[in-house]
Structure 1
Amino acid sequence: MKMDRNSIWALFISVFLLHRVTNSEEEVVKRSLIKFFGELSHRNVNRELIRGWNLTSDPCTDQWTGVECDSHLVSVKRIILVGLNLTGTLDATSLCTVQSLIFFSLNDNYIDGEVPVEIANCKQLTHLYISGNRFSGNLPESLSRLNNLKKLDISNNNFSGELPDLPHLSGLISFLAQHNQLREEIPKFDFTNFQQFNVSFNNFSGPIPELNGQFTAESFMGNPELCGKPLSNACPPSPPPKKGSKGLSSNQVLAYSGYFILALAFLIFVVFRLMKRNKTKEKVNVVKNGAAVDSSNNKPSTVSSEYKTGLSKSEYSISAESSMVSTSLVVLMSPETKGLRFEDLLNAPAELMGRGMHGSLYKVIFGDGMTLAVKRIKDWEISSESFKRRMQKLDQVKHPNVLPAVAFYCSEKEKLVVYEYQQNESLFKLLHGTQIGKKFDWGSRLGVAATISEALAFMHEELREDGIAHGNLKSSNILLSKNMDPCISEYGLMEVDNQDHSSIVHANGDKATGHRGDGAYNTFKIDMYGLGVILLELLTGKPVQKNGFDLAQWVQSVLREEWTVEVFDKALISEGASEMRLVDLLQVSLKCINPSPEARPSINQVAVMVNTIREEEERSIVYEP
């Protein structure tokens, strides 16, 4: 009996001590979390919106804001502090005291400073998201010690320097680093298992590693010194390996020097004779050996070298086959471009504004002040006659919010479409880029949505029998007129190839194939997906990028967590936009991006739904007390 009592007392003491130790550990975690949060919440935070984060409550049982625990409400698993206007710095030492932490997000705040090396102490971390802050400096090498890390998002910050040894993380499947100032070469990742990868708009240089066909140019654009596939600029050939040498004797040096001088003299003689023979041809074509030259003063032209070289090479080949191909520029009804010639496009200064998968866009400035935008289309297998018929048909269908072509040029090797230049640029830049400071409130965004829907409905109705849809509808193709009215650009400059449907819709992420064998059906349904993505951009304020941040996927993941309000742009919420109408437009956009093309509404249905939402918004303003 005495032995039994001793056993019971021993058990009691063990449980008591274990309880004390557990409570002690929980207290350490709590104090560390409070210290971590204290470094973030210095200003601009409405404390009434923050629940917990104090010593008198428990992070799990009292459900601190942004904290998620395991099913037993014991261990902290996730900390998600997104869009709370948090400032300050990241205290990784305190944060990583929470050894059970697997998911950490500080996206869309105002946190600055560097990422501390102590972040490596968060050993269980699988997801690290710090996008949309003001972090700067080099990324710590200690990141490569987070062996469980699967997804890393550092995009939209001010990081600089080289990337750490992230390829060491064998489980990494997502890396987003766009819109920073990172430099040097991209490490050689194993892209086989990657789901997302984006390093666009940085200062990376050198060759792009082997991608195994995983990602497109959009994951690497905006790095002028990058080269290799999938970008259009090829890398220079590598110099041959140096062979071992015992050195050259003075006689060998003299002999080789003599050979070199003789070869150089012979080369100069040949070039001189060729120049003399082709002197007349040079005056006509103003191009020699791929370089733009002004024949009057023998100085380089002001035209962008890529634009000039590309167009001049095509003109050169056309002039050589003048009996077979017309070299004239077809000018449509436009007083501004009366008398415009193809040669005028060659000789005018041009600026490369953008390069995409399906062509390049140039801003061309003429001596009289006229400014045009020239779309140069590539890889479109359409005959000259079919292209001409299409452009003439498009010229017959007019809508005030669809930008008409003022001229076009077509040969077997070159297709150009000329538009009036829109100085206020695009909806994409208004939402995400250079138009910062211009008011773009909820009413304005709703107006853009309604206008685009109506214009697209008109074009679909007028051109359905001809099977001509837009084919590449995205926010960068919605231009803004001098009155800031939205205008759909580049309508009809793409045609569905049923054998390669995915290459056409890559920009908006539409993976649905529609009815195989019916290209027109595909293209009209692709337009609906594109419109849905534009509506999501208007609602969220976030860009959509293939193989990087997938806007549609992100929205749907947030909705699955029943955090609908987290989808919307913070600027819209802060201005007091009607949550009910925000949700209504969100529902319309989700219908448009339905994975099944057959389930997507028609453009006429969408136009009615969007206009109904706008009318309700306008009525609420009129009757607002």
Structure 2
Amino acid sequence: MDGNSIWAVPVLIFLLFPVTNSQVEDGVKEALVKFMEKLSSERNQNLGWDPSSDPCNDKWVGVTCDTKLQSVRKIVLDGFNLTGSLDASSVCSIDSLVVLSLNDNDVAGNFPEEISDCKHLTHLYLNANQFSGNLPDSLSQLSNLKRLVISNNKFSGELPDLARISGLLTFFAENNQLSGSIPQFDFSNLLEFNVSNNNFSGPVPDLKSRFGVDSLSGNPGLCGKPLPNACPPPPPQSKKKSKHSSNDRFLIFSGYIFLALLLLLLVTWKMFGKNKPKKEKTVDVRKGAAVDTRRNKPSSSSSGLKSSENKSEYSLTSVESGMNASSSLLVLTSPEVNGLKFEDLLRAPAELLGRGKYGSLYMVTLDNGVILAVKRLKDWNISSEDFKRNMHKVDQVKHPNVLSPLAYYCSKQEKLLVYPYQPNGSLFKFLHGSQNSESFDWGSRLGVAASVAKALAFMHEELRESGIAHGNLKSTNILFNKNMDPCISEYGLMVTENNQDSSFVAQSNSTESNNINGSFKVDVYGFGVILLELLTGKLVQSNGINLAKWVHSVVREEWTVEVFDKALLSEAASEERMVNLLQVALKCINPSPNERPNMDQVAGMINTIKEEEERSISSVE
């Protein structure tokens, strides 16, 4: 064997059997050792915190690392008889740290200001120690904190403005000596709360009926619900007058007189205007005037389209010069509106249900009592030819969970779509709006997900050759019929929300066939976002926070359960099956469209979860 062959053997072995040598940085090890030095204990020597070893590979007691064994994620030292003080400046220099727990020890001293350096900390547990003094204001700078437990210590003074921590889920501070008023936490978001046995005083903030007397007892100075002692009335205002009170009163009276004169002039002008002769004209529905198309004169206030804002009524009439009674309304194959004429639709009373980016939605009541939903589209990114083709194709493919159009009107500027009216609102309103219902439990949400996935998979299969996807799938387009079954509306309008899935839009060099396939992948993304709404109960966009990015960040921090809607957690829904559905959602919103499953695969995965849920319920019963 020559020299080159001899050297090739170890190289080949190295390539076939790579050596893992992931280690924590020396600076992190030094910070950990310094942190432990401040926590003196007879058991310190047995914890394995040796600077010559590695915290992750050598498994220091109480230290948990990431899967790559390169960064420290958690420090949990509960019940180790630790004394000394908390060295926040050292431990908070570990940027990757998300959990710090020192429960059931004897750590004493003041709470360090440097705790604000723990920027990524999500869980801080200090229960049953000997901490004393005031809590620092810097504690409220831990914006990622989810759980804060400082109970059974000797903390005193007022609480810092912890309400600034918007995502806080748990706050336990019972059995301390804290005083002052209770901060205005976001009690609609808190899952756990207890400040009993302290020295808090003043009115109890609005707890949103989520917490009872037990969480407040032992604070004699507190008053108001849910405590039995009512708060005393506020003291009367001082009768002492300032030297400027007369001038202030004169200015106020002058303002009232000016407003009264202005109002009188306005009323006079209105009355004068009503007596003027009116010209006969037909007014655009967007201007909010009712017209009678049979006489071409203004009609009485009882006819027409009712606005959801000012309750005034209108008729669907000439919204554009090219749209008039002589135009044709194309009625598709539906007995529900058989014989419907365009004139009937125009003069029927209608109510404005809402306005969107691309048009308005009206509820129209025909003379025979049939109620329809009419979608008026303007500046919609689809040609008249494609619009007509799509409507006829969608009408040919029937599915009980997809709303097919009953009729449509199409001109260059305007398009109308006529649907059967769905009386029970949208999924969006059930999750985020006034129709929010406590009965919308885990089983109901899983059922909605399964039904919509099955319907969307069916439509994709039937219309794939035609290249017709939904293109704008979102929770406002999932409507509930009279039986509370979910129905997909507005299928086939082919408007891709670019801001919803920029990863597809970025593929500008793809072929036409890839673009068609990409449209179906956009539907998969949209459905994945709907799954996130069902699981979290949160808006897709709220205060600049994108739901998909937020869920990714929480899951990346390994606190998956915290993404779920607190209503689901409170009903003890299966966390395992919620996590499984979350995994399906994450597959759907994969940044790479080609990596996303198709809707048939998604429907299969969700159906498996649903069957597991049904078997679990059956076994309990």
Give the TM-score band, short-chain normalised.
Answer: 0.5 to 0.7
1:382, distance to aligned residue in structure 2 (A): 3.4
The AA in structure 1 aligned to 2:425 is E
The AA in structure 1 aligned to 2:488 is I
Match of 1:317 in 2: 322
Match of 1:374 in 2: 374
Unpaired runs of 5+ residues, structure 2, are 1-37, 40-77, 89-99, 105-110, 125-132, 149-156, 171-184, 190-272
1:129, distance to aligned residue in structure 2 (A): 2.2
Equivalent residues in 2 for 1:9-408 (5 A)? 62-63=101-102, 75-77=114-116, 97-99=136-138, 101-104=140-143, 128-129=165-166, 275=279, 282=281, 291-294=289-292, 295=295, 298-300=299-301, 301-304=303-306, 312-314=317-319, 316-319=321-324, 327-408=327-408
Q: TM-score, normalised by structure 1?
A: 0.55
Structure 1 residues 129 and 311: alpha-carbon distance in aligned structure 2, compared to 1, 3 A threshold: same
Please say if residues 535 and 586 of structure 1, whose CA atoms lie closer than 8 Å, have aligned partners that are also in contact.
yes
Equivalent residues in 2 for 1:463-478 (5 A)? 463-478=463-478
Q: Aligned to 2:482, what secondary structure does the other structure show?
A: coil
In the alignment, is residue 530 of structure 1 matched against residue 530 of structure 2? no
Please say if residues 290 and 298 of structure 2, whose CA atoms lie closer than 8 Å, have aligned partners that are also in contact.
no
The AA in structure 2 aligned to 1:317 is G
In the alignment, is residue 550 of structure 1 matched against residue 555 of structure 2? no
Structure 1 residues 436 and 467: alpha-carbon distance in aligned structure 2, compared to 1, 3 A threshold: same
Deviation track 1:221-267 (CA, whole Å, cap 9, x = no partner) reads xxxxxxxxxxxxxxxxxxxxxxxxxxxxxxxxxxxxxxxxxxxxxx9
Which stretch of the first structure deviates more once superposed, 477-486 or 540-549? 540-549
Structure 1 residues 474 and 510: alpha-carbon distance in aligned structure 2, compared to 1, 3 A threshold: farther
Match of 1:593 in 2: 589
Match of 1:141 in 2: none
1:459, distance to aligned residue in structure 2 (A): 0.3
Please say if residues 76 and 98 of structure 1, whose CA atoms lie closer than 8 Å, have aligned partners that are also in contact.
no
1:511, distance to aligned residue in structure 2 (A): 4.2
Which stretch of the first structure deviates more once superposed, 532-541 or 369-378? 369-378
- In structure 1, distance between residues paired with 2:571 and 2:381: 48
- In structure 1, distance between residues paired with 2:367 and 2:341: 14
Match of 2:505 in 1: 513
From the two aligned structures, give the one with the greater helix fraction: 1
Deviation track 1:153-196 (CA, whole Å, cap 9, x = no partner) reads 98989xxxxxxxxxxxxxxxxxxxxxxxxxxxxxxxxxxxxxxx
Structure 1 residues 599 and 287: alpha-carbon distance in aligned structure 2, compared to 1, 3 A threshold: closer
Match of 1:611 in 2: 607
1:568, distance to aligned residue in structure 2 (A): 1.1
- In structure 2, distance between residues paired with 1:441 and 1:364: 32
1:352, distance to aligned residue in structure 2 (A): 2.2
Q: Aligned to 1:422, what secondary structure does the other structure show?
A: coil
In the alignment, is residue 492 of structure 1 matched against residue 531 of structure 2? no
In the alignment, is residue 580 of structure 1 matched against residue 576 of structure 2? yes
Deviation track 1:450-496 (CA, whole Å, cap 9, x = no partner) reads 11111000000111111110001111111111111111111111245
Match of 2:55 in 1: none
Q: Aligned to 1:352, what secondary structure does the other structure show?
A: strand
Please say if residues 163 and 186 of structure 2, whose CA atoms lie closer than 8 Å, have aligned partners that are also in contact.
no
- In structure 2, distance between residues paired with 1:350 and 1:57: 74
1:308, distance to aligned residue in structure 2 (A): 8.7
- In structure 1, distance between residues paired with 2:397 and 2:492: 11
Q: Give the aligned length.
A: 400
1:525, distance to aligned residue in structure 2 (A): 1.1
Match of 1:415 in 2: 415
Q: Aligned to 2:333, what secondary structure does the other structure show?
A: coil
Structure 1 residues 381 and 570: alpha-carbon distance in aligned structure 2, compared to 1, 3 A threshold: closer
Structure 1 residues 74 and 412: alpha-carbon distance in aligned structure 2, compared to 1, 3 A threshold: closer
Structure 1 residues 574 and 363: alpha-carbon distance in aligned structure 2, compared to 1, 3 A threshold: same
Please say if residues 505 and 526 of structure 1, whose CA atoms lie closer than 8 Å, have aligned partners that are also in contact.
no
1:350, distance to aligned residue in structure 2 (A): 2.2
1:618, distance to aligned residue in structure 2 (A): 1.4
The AA in structure 2 aligned to 1:293 is V
Q: Aligned to 2:443, what secondary structure does the other structure show?
A: helix
Structure 1 residues 535 and 447: alpha-carbon distance in aligned structure 2, compared to 1, 3 A threshold: same
Structure 1 residues 386 and 562: alpha-carbon distance in aligned structure 2, compared to 1, 3 A threshold: closer
- In structure 1, distance between residues paired with 2:458 and 2:566: 33
Q: Aligned to 1:377, what secondary structure does the other structure show?
A: strand
1:299, distance to aligned residue in structure 2 (A): 3.5
Please say if residues 58 and 64 of structure 1, whose CA atoms lie closer than 8 Å, have aligned partners that are also in contact.
no
- In structure 1, distance between residues paired with 2:498 and 2:315: 26
1:127, distance to aligned residue in structure 2 (A): 7.0
Match of 1:602 in 2: 598
1:624, distance to aligned residue in structure 2 (A): 3.2
Which one scores higher on RCO, CA 8 angstroms, separation ≥ 6? 1
1:98, distance to aligned residue in structure 2 (A): 3.2
1:381, distance to aligned residue in structure 2 (A): 4.2
- In structure 1, distance between residues paired with 2:147 and 2:316: 44
Equivalent residues in 2 for 1:558-569 (5 A)? 558-569=554-565
- In structure 1, distance between residues paired with 2:410 and 2:562: 48
1:101, distance to aligned residue in structure 2 (A): 4.7
Structure 1 residues 407 and 156: alpha-carbon distance in aligned structure 2, compared to 1, 3 A threshold: farther
Structure 1 residues 327 and 308: alpha-carbon distance in aligned structure 2, compared to 1, 3 A threshold: farther
1:358, distance to aligned residue in structure 2 (A): 2.3
Structure 1 residues 57 and 402: alpha-carbon distance in aligned structure 2, compared to 1, 3 A threshold: farther
- In structure 1, distance between residues paired with 2:322 and 2:517: 37
1:388, distance to aligned residue in structure 2 (A): 1.5
1:573, distance to aligned residue in structure 2 (A): 1.9
1:621, distance to aligned residue in structure 2 (A): 2.0
1:539, distance to aligned residue in structure 2 (A): 1.1
Structure 1 residues 557 and 419: alpha-carbon distance in aligned structure 2, compared to 1, 3 A threshold: same
Please say if residues 429 and 435 of structure 2, whose CA atoms lie closer than 8 Å, have aligned partners that are also in contact.
yes
Q: Aligned to 2:605, what secondary structure does the other structure show?
A: helix
- In structure 2, distance between residues paired with 1:100 and 1:441: 36
Q: TM-score, normalised by structure 2?
A: 0.55
Structure 1 residues 119 and 451: alpha-carbon distance in aligned structure 2, compared to 1, 3 A threshold: farther
1:288, distance to aligned residue in structure 2 (A): 11
Please say if residues 403 and 488 of structure 1, whose CA atoms lie closer than 8 Å, have aligned partners that are also in contact.
yes
Q: Aligned to 1:490, what secondary structure does the other structure show?
A: coil
The AA in structure 2 aligned to 1:76 is I
Please say if residues 510 and 526 of structure 1, whose CA atoms lie closer than 8 Å, have aligned partners that are also in contact.
no
